[in-house]
């Protein structure tokens, strides 16, 4: 698979360059699918199912033949809205506009006869500062408590050899946004207890690999789908840092996961 995040800028701010490199890599490895970890449409998600941002930022930007595979997508904070814009509802059923598009707030995927299980989560409701913005409305199925309880059940009952979680916000990061303390408090202990091997995220507009001593998950941050930000602000637990645009290509083998940064 290939994974990218923080990209939806109508082809601008390096998005078209990253898309071109993704298409080249996809032509070489033939990915089964692409995962997007959110901030799919800047500045504040889609205004309606017919919003032209969908075609300009997704269908047109990733039109290469090699990228005509399913895209599994979760929400970032900008898909809900932002402080400069109106509230937007996040996910729309846009699969009829482009067959590749699959977007949910939370879902699971079972692969390789159950040996591999992917868990996709909606991290924005965990972040307390968003509750004081005019666009945040995290209730019902978006409740972080309900989501955490369901994630615990799903992870702890999983018999998969490989358990991999995808979320927009990383628990740990040395980028501009730094750690997400709510995820460290509520989600990271669960990742450790369940033996999750890797957690893929975006949010910070760079590429990074973090692995803390005696902590199970490897954090792979790939939020460089378009515009980049400030330099890294630290190196805690960091095995790799790249302060620029890019994406990752992932291969799962029986005994290892190979992650390549581009």
Q: Taking a C-beta distance cutoff of 8 angstroms, is the pair 74, 167 a contact?
A: yes
User: Residue ranges per domain, the chain?
Assistant: 2-261
Of the candidates 218, 199, 238, 217, the residue with the CA atom closest to the CA atom of residue 5: 199
pLDDT digits (tens, 9 = 90+) for 70-98: 999 999 999 887 554 444 445 565 667 89
Residue 138, pLDDT score? 65
Reported pTM: 0.94
Residue 216, pLDDT score? 74
Q: What is the mean pLDDT of the chain?
A: 91
Catalytic residue among 177, 203, 205, 209: 177
Query: Residues 25-51: what's their mean pLDDT?
Result: 92
pLDDT digits (tens, 9 = 90+) for 142-155: 689 999 999 999 99
Residue 85, pLDDT score? 44
Architecture of the CATH domain 2-261: 4-Layer Sandwich (3.60)
- Residue 230 above 60 pLDDT? yes
Residue 78 among the catalytic residues: no
pLDDT confidence band for 50 (50 / 70 / 90): confident
Q: Taking a C-beta distance cutoff of 8 angstroms, is the pair 173, 210 a contact?
A: yes
Who wins on pLDDT, 106 or 230? 106
pLDDT confidence band for 139 (50 / 70 / 90): low
């Amino acid at each position: 698979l290939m994974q990218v995040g923080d990209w939806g800028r109508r082809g601008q701010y390096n998005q078209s360059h990253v898309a071109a490199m993704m298409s080249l890599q996809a032509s070489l490895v033939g990915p089964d699918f692409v995962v997007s970890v959110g901030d799919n449409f800047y500045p504040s998600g889609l205004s309606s199912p017919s919003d032209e941002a969908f075609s300009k930022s997704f269908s047109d930007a990733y039109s290469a033949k090699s990228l005509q595979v399913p895209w599994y997508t979760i929400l970032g904070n900008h898909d809900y809205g932002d402080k400069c814009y109106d509230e937007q509802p996040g996910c729309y059923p846009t699969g009829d506009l482009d067959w590749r598009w699959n977007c949910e707030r939370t879902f699971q995927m079972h692969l390789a006869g159950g040996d591999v299980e992917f868990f996709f989560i909606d991290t924005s409701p965990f972040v307390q500062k968003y509750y004081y913005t005019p666009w945040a409305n995290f209730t019902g199925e978006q409740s972080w408590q309900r989501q955490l309880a369901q994630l615990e059940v799903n992870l702890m009952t999983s018999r998969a050899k490989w358990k991999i979680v995808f979320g927009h916000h990383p628990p740990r990061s040395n980028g501009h946004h730094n750690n997400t303390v709510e995820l460290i408090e509520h989600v990271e202990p669960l990742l450790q207890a369940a033996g999750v091997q890797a957690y893929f995220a975006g949010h910070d507009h760079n590429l990074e690999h973090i692995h803390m001593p005696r902590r199970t998950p490897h954090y792979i941050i790939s939020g460089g789908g378009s515009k980049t930000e400030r330099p890294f602000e630290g190196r805690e637990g960091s095995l790799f840092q790249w302060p620029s645009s890019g994406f990752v290509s992932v291969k799962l083998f029986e005994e290892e996961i190979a992650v390549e940064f581009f």
